[in-house]
Structure 1
Amino acid sequence: MNIHKVLKWVTFGFEAFLAIPLIGGAFILANGWTPLLIVGVLHLISIVLLLANRQKLVVGNLIGIVGAMLGAIPVLGWILHVFTAIVLFLESMYLSKKKDEQRFEYEADL
């Protein structure tokens, strides 16, 4: 599994955790909004690695950066974390499926 795929799954997991009602918000408040900074940096690193590997699936991470910036607004932040987690999950599944299809095509050629 490539690093950009791992980061895509990690950012999905982080966003999904932050999207849990009350628990995600309490975690953010208890740590002084530091989790939003961390997830924003993870999204930025993911975008750089995805573009370096010529992957076009950066929409979820772009939404994640917006969500990290606006995450301090209680209801809007929660909605953005939920939406980001869904998009990142779909992109992660697509990347995993795409790699599996390429592997099967390679094995069929042998």
Structure 2
Amino acid sequence: MKLGAAILETILAIPILGAMIILFSFWLLLPVEIALGIIGIIMSKKAKTKKTGHIFQIITGCLAWIPIVGWIMHIITAVILWIGWKND
């Protein structure tokens, strides 16, 4: 789950590409991102792994509608998810 979330966050962190994906989905990808974060937390709890990346994913999904803040949050969340995936 963390690998998929990390790939998604990395794609959304690419400045023009990520913005186009979000805009063309009419921001519907952000609630999907929140749902994936919740599912990730549930799966992490069952697997007894760290939930930090998924918590950041939920926060990012809530704040990503703000242009510059969203971009920065996608970068931070992608890095945290990649590190979490590597360490799990």
Normalising by structure 2, report the TM-score: 0.96
Partners of 1:31 and 1:53 lie apart in 2 by 32
| Greater RCO (Cα-Cα under 8 Å, separation 6 or more) | 2
Normalising by structure 1, report the TM-score: 0.77
What do residues 28-84 of structure 1 show as CA deviations (whole Å, max 9, x unaligned)?
0111111111111111101011112222x1111101100000000000000000000
Partners of 1:27 and 1:54 lie apart in 2 by 33
Q: Which amino acid aligns with 2:60?
A: G
Report matched runs for 1:11-90 at 5 Å: 11-55=5-49, 57-90=50-83
Q: State the Cα RMSD in Å.
A: 0.7
SS at match of 1:22: helix
Poorly superposed stretches of 4+, deviation over 2 Å: none
Q: Counterpart of 1:3?
A: none
Q: Which amino acid aligns with 1:16?
A: T
Partners of 2:48 and 2:6 lie apart in 1 by 20
Q: Which protein shows a greater Rg?
A: 1
Kindly, what percent of the aligned residue pairs are identical? 30
Aligned length: 88
Structure 2: give runs of 5+ residues left out of the alignment: none
